[in-house]
Amino acid sequence: MKIAFDISYIQQKKAGIGRAALNLLKGLMNIDQINEYILHGWSYSLDIETIKIFKKHNVQLSLLKIPGNIKRFYWNQFRTPNIEYFLKSINIFHSSDPFLPPLHTAKGIITIHDLAYKKYPHLLQKQVIKWDTYIFKSIQRANAIITPSNQSRNDIIEFFPSTADKIRVVHFPIEPIFTNIPEPNYDSLIKSKYNLDIPFILFVGTIEPRKNLVNLIKAFEMFQHKHKFPLQLVICGKPGWLYRDIFEAIKQSSRVKNIRYLNYLPEKELASLYRLAHYFVYPSLYEGYGFPVLEAMASGTPVITSSTSSLKEIAEGAAILVDPTNIDELADSMIKLSENDSRLDELSRKGLERIKLFNSATAAKQVLNIYKQLMDKNK
């Protein structure tokens, strides 16, 4: 087989899609020395140094510096140029997002991480919702759909009932850099760099309404009022969309002096931050997967997260689950966890055990099997 693997999201500042693509690719490269791969990406921000590591006897690179909006305009509006014009005789095109380029004879795979734009359209910008027409067309053309959780699978079927037979659930792995093995010198350096002198509660994620940060800030205020133990709330992540109200909530908070915003951090620094955190709180309203929860568990960091969407699915039994819309419940869970060292230790152990289910070898084998199934249908 000759597989074109979409690396457009493996960028210098990777978010969830980029991390998923990178770690899945690492797994595939480790177990598959037979099939040919073309690593194909369109972006000015590609992490070239990381991508070059994969080049070997059965792997070649195809990197084009074309802005994503221009690419999508031609692909979605005019359905041209055909991707095989650039990549020649490929058997499979594996897209890392829900958009499929024009294909001639190759089989097409798309990746749907979540359907937030369908479930919570009021929390996203209008330009995101406009993608629906093109996502629907890609779903119709795709030979297979990869999604990271049963929750996402059910959501896809809810909105696109005819897709059930195409969907394959693959639990995406996380970066091995997220580990509970301490690096005393480096961790101390990060602690000093960001002036984290007192214990802190950590949130990691894109700054956008779906992450429910305004409620987290309100819960933290309640927590600080009732709990005298000194704790900071550290919020880490790049601004997404509709983020202004979130920053205003931080600015207006009665506990603003105890809230720190660190923006986007390099992965090595982020890994250290997870290890240093007292515990991790992720009260998102909706997730198709929830990489930060997995990263925290891999770091041995106790987790409080939502009892909704895929978060319950991936964290159940290894985290405290709360109703993300119930501020009192969220604050109460933070108070109880802060006062219970044995519970902190228990959640740390359970998280480390559960993360073993989300490994790169299993995910890569599942994806490789999908490739084989698609090719077998041609025989």
Structure-derived torsion over alpha carbons of residues 174, 179, 183, 184, reported in degrees to the nearest 10: 130
Helices (H), ranges, the chain: 16-31, 48-52, 68-72, 83-87, 116-119, 126-129, 132-141, 150-159, 184-193, 213-226, 244-252, 267-276, 291-298, 309-315, 327-338, 341-354, 360-376
CATH number at residue 34: 3.40.50.2000
In a domain? residue 179: no
pLDDT of 78: 60
Average pLDDT over residues 132-158: 94
In a domain? residue 261: yes
Among the residue ranges 110-114, 241-245, 277-281, 289-293, the one predicted with the least confidence is 241-245
Average pLDDT over residues 219-238: 91
Indicate if the pLDDT at residue 127 is higher than 80.
no
In a domain? residue 178: no
Is 220 found in the same domain as 140?
A: no
Q: Which of the four pLDDT bands, split at 50, 70 and 90, describes residue 79?
A: low
Q: Are 172 and 290 in contact (CB under 8 A)?
A: no
Number of domains the chain is built from: 2
In a domain? residue 325: yes
Is 144 found in the same domain as 42?
A: yes
pLDDT of 158: 96
In a domain? residue 150: yes
Indicate if the pLDDT at residue 66 is higher than 90.
no
Per-residue model confidence as pLDDT tens digits over 196-215: 988 999 999 999 999 999 99
Is 148 found in the same domain as 12?
A: yes
Indicate if the pLDDT at residue 370 is higher than 90.
yes
- What is the domain extent for residue 292? 184-357
Is 153 found in the same domain as 195?
A: no
Cα Dmax for the chain: 68
Is 230 found in the same domain as 332?
A: yes
Is 117 found in the same domain as 253?
A: no
Is 239 found in the same domain as 119?
A: no
Q: Are 280 and 304 in contact (CB under 8 A)?
A: yes
Average pLDDT over residues 229-245: 91
Rounded to a whole number, what is the distance in angstroms from the first to the last CA of the chain? 13
Is 73 found in the same domain as 15?
A: yes
Tokens linked to 51: 């991508």
Is 158 found in the same domain as 252?
A: no
Is 345 found in the same domain as 363?
A: no
Indicate if the pLDDT at residue 101 is higher than 70.
yes
pTM given for the model: 0.92
Q: Which of the four pLDDT bands, split at 50, 70 and 90, describes residue 63?
A: confident
pLDDT of 242: 87
Average pLDDT over residues 120-136: 81
Determine the Cα angle at 223 with ends 218 and 227, to 5°: 160
Tell me which H or E stretch contains 143: none
Average pLDDT over residues 4-25: 90
d(CA 367, CA 58): 17
Q: Strand, coil or helix: what is 55?
A: coil
Is 59 found in the same domain as 73?
A: yes
